[in-house]
Amino acid sequence: MVRRRSKHTRPARPLGAHHAHAEDKGDGRWIVRTVPGAKAEKEYRCPGCDQPIRPGTPHLVAWPDDPGWLADSGLESRRHWHTACWQRRR
């Protein structure tokens, strides 16, 4: 039996950019993808309000289009947001 490498040592997998769109905010251009409640299986902490996003809650994932020179990919900087918190963000 062949064992798969630990998910923690594998590179980040793409988030399906065909379901994502770009949005401009005050701090740059962001790629945004919605997560339907049926696909939200884990709990995350929203950086907008510092409250949990519970499993089953529809929300969105955003990452910078240009990650800057310190990161290999914007996907490393992705964060899960409550939809309302992201919409209030300028």
The answer as to whether 62 is a domain residue is yes
What's the pLDDT score for residue 48? 96
Using CA atoms, how far apart are residues 16 and 28, in angstroms rounded to an integer?
21
The answer as to whether 12 is a domain residue is no
Using CA atoms, how far apart are residues 86 and 48, in angstroms rounded to an integer?
7
The answer as to whether 11 is a domain residue is no
**How many domains does the chain contain in total?**
1
Non-local (6+) Cβ contacts of 20 within 8 A are 31, 32, 33
What's the pLDDT score for residue 5? 76
Report mean pLDDT in 10-residue bins for the chain, 90 residues: 73 62 92 93 96 97 82 77 95
The answer as to whether 1 is a domain residue is no
Measured CA to CA in angstroms, residue 13 lies from 37, 73, 78, 83 at distances of 21, 11, 12, 23
The range of the structural domain enclosing residue 38 comes to 33-88
What's the pLDDT score for residue 17? 47
The answer as to whether 8 is a domain residue is no
Widest distance between CA atoms in the chain: 51
Q: Pick from 74, 40, 77: which is nearest to 59 by CA? A: 40
The answer as to whether 63 is a domain residue is yes
The answer as to whether 18 is a domain residue is no
